[in-house]
Every structure is written in C-alpha cells, then in structure tokens.
Amino acid sequence: MKNKISRILTYPFRMIWKGLYNTYQAILSAWRFTLTIPGRVIRSPVQSYHAIVRGRNWLLAKIEYLQSESAKWKMLFNVVKSPFSLLRAMGFSPQMAATMLFGATAVGGGLVATEVFEGRSFARGDAGVYTAPLDIPTEYVEGDNTLRIDLGTTPVGEISIANVTIGTAFTGSTLPSGESNVIVIGGIAASSGFTETYLEVGHLIIDRWRCTKLQLSNIEVFELNVKYNASDGQSISATPGTPRNRGIGGGNRADNMSTQGGYYDQLKITSASSGVNGKVDVLRLSNLYTKGGPCIVSRVKAGTIDVLLGEFGAGDGFATKDLSIATSVVYKTFNNVDNVETSISPP
C-alpha cells in the first residue's frame, strides 16, 4: 500500500525528470548531427564523383563490348564476301578450296584461277589480274607477267605502286602478245558491245617515271600540275575548261592496295566492265622504270593530277614529242613549272 502511495506522490517528479532526460538526449543528438555536417559537406562531392565514375565505367564497358562485336561482324562479312577466304577460314587447304570453287579441270590448260596454289598476293608484288578488294588475283595466266588492276563499282581508298621495273627493261622480259604500251592507266574506249569507261580518281600522282614516251589524253582534271620533268621533246597543249573537283568516297570502300618492288612485262589499271567507271581516291605511282613502249594515261576524270620529276625520251630528237599532253586534256587550273627539253637516250 505504501509503495502505491509513494508512486502516486512521486509521479509528477518522475514525469518531469523523464521529459528533461528526453530533451537532453534530443539536444545531444542534434549537437552530434551538427558536428557531422562539415564532414558530410566535404564528402558529398567525393561521393558524387565516385558515382559519376561508376556510371562512366559502365557506359565505356558497354561501348567497348559493342565495338568488339561490330569488328567481329565486319570481319565475318569480309570473309563471306570472298568464297576462297571463307573456305580457307573453315580449314580447307588452298588446293582443296580451289578445287571446290573452280573444279579440278580449271587449271589444266595454263589458266590458274586466283593462282591460290602459290598463294599469290598483290601486297607481295605477284603478277595477275586483281579486283578490289581482294589481295589475291582473280585470274592468272601462266607465263603472263602483267600486273593488272580492274576497278569497277567498288571504290578503293588508295592504290600505291612504287619502285618497279616494267616492260623490256630487264633481261628476258617482253610485252604481252598484241600489246605495244608498257603502262596503261585509265578507262577503255567504246567498241562493239562495249560502252566507254573512265577511271575516276581523286588524286593521281605520277612521280619519277622513266619512259620512252608519256602520253596524256582524254582527261578531265580540276588541277593539273606538271612540274620539273625532263623530256627529249615535249608538246604540252592542254585546254582550259570547267572540270569539277572530285574526291572518291563510297562509305565502306575497299581496303587500300599497296606494293613495291618487282618486275612486270606490263602495268594496267583500268575500268574493264562495260559502262562502269572505276573509282580510286588516291592513285600513287612512284619510281616506275620502263622500256619497250609508251606510257599511256587516258580516259581519266580527276580532282588533281601531278606529273612530277619524270624523264621521258627515246633519243630521237626534239622533233618527236616524248612528253605529250594532248588538247583533249581539259583543266580548270594548270601549273606548268620548269619542264625542260633535253637530250635523253632510251632507258
């Protein structure tokens, strides 16, 4: 009974004490929170930065994955475009792949389709007929040492050929049967069943050629640069006009083709399909030493043509024009710089 009376009498005091204690605890918690505010403010940018970094790393990981997948798909499509490459990738030997593609009798008479038996390659300087984007020849005739590139609907970024000897300039060489020109660059004239073609070029570079004759004709060029050439007689009769400047795009165009060093009976870069112009953005032909016939550049539509530091002559006097730029060469801008006539013997 006494305990009950005591609890009743002390109840107000206990309630006051509990209220004071709770207030103290609230003030203490608020004070502790206030003390942590500077630290929270300091850490906030760091925490935000780390969150941004985590987001960035996640995004970059996804981008790298997509790029990797894209490269794999592109490689697959490139392999599929070439049946021979596809068969080789599946593990077939070159001989078996050739037999499956061309039949066992395809190589019996001297014509070796793509010459896969010897692993012929443009990059290694092997002769043959090449069609972009393949690095292996699409045709090879045993005993024919011609290097030929046929261009058509597939544009090429750059073709580079350097430091080669062509024609009869080396022992045992001869021009192909029925041919009289050592170098032939450009389209093909119209004939029965064939529609005239042109070679469209962004930039054609004819650098350090040695020819008995160089002949340019049937050309439309925005900028023609003929500089520092020596010739045993020259006739430069290009005609001013309004050709447009041009560069060759084409999106996912063929891979660049490059080779240097080697010996060929003839060099041809043509548009061989009726009515289809060949297209290459940069055609760089440097240090070509030739003998046995003229070097011909004809039926070309170009943004820029450079004829630089060449020597042209057959030792037949200035009356015979061994550097000839015909009136059918039409230009918008022409830079004719320091081209001299001087006696030059045959190569």
Structural domain spans, the chain:
1-81, 151-341
> pTM (2 decimals)?
0.68
Mean pLDDT of 50-77: 74
Instruction: Pull the structure tokens for residue 57.
Output: 């790393």
Q: With contact defined as beta carbons under 8 Å apart, do 227 and 335 qualify?
A: yes
Is 149 exposed, middle or buried, given 0-12, 13-18 or 19+ CB atoms closer than 10 A?
A: buried
Asked if pLDDT for residue 336 goes beyond 50, the answer is yes
Spatial distance between the Cα atoms of 205 and 209, rounded to a whole number of angstroms:
10
Element housing 227 (H / E)? strand 214-227
Residue 37 has a pLDDT of 62
**CA gap 218, 199 in Å, rounded:** 11
Q: Are 209 and 290 spatial neighbours (Cβ–Cβ below 8 Å)?
A: yes
Neighbours of 138 (CB within 10 A): 15
Most trustworthy range by pLDDT among 111-125, 220-234, 247-261: 220-234
pLDDT class of 108 with cuts at 50, 70, 90: very low
Neighbouring CB atoms inside 10 A of 244's CB total: 9
Give the residue with greater pLDDT, 222 vs 97.
222
User: Residue 282 and residue 204: Cα distance in Å, rounded?
Assistant: 6
pLDDT in tens, 228-241: 999 999 999 999 99
Asked whether the bond before 94 is cis by omega within 30 degrees of 0, the reply is no
Residues 269-292, mean pLDDT to the nearest whole number:
95
Return left, alpha or beta for 91; rule: phi > 0 is left, psi -120 to 50 is alpha, else beta.
Answer: left
Of the CA atoms within 13 Å of residue 267, those in its CB half-sphere come to 30
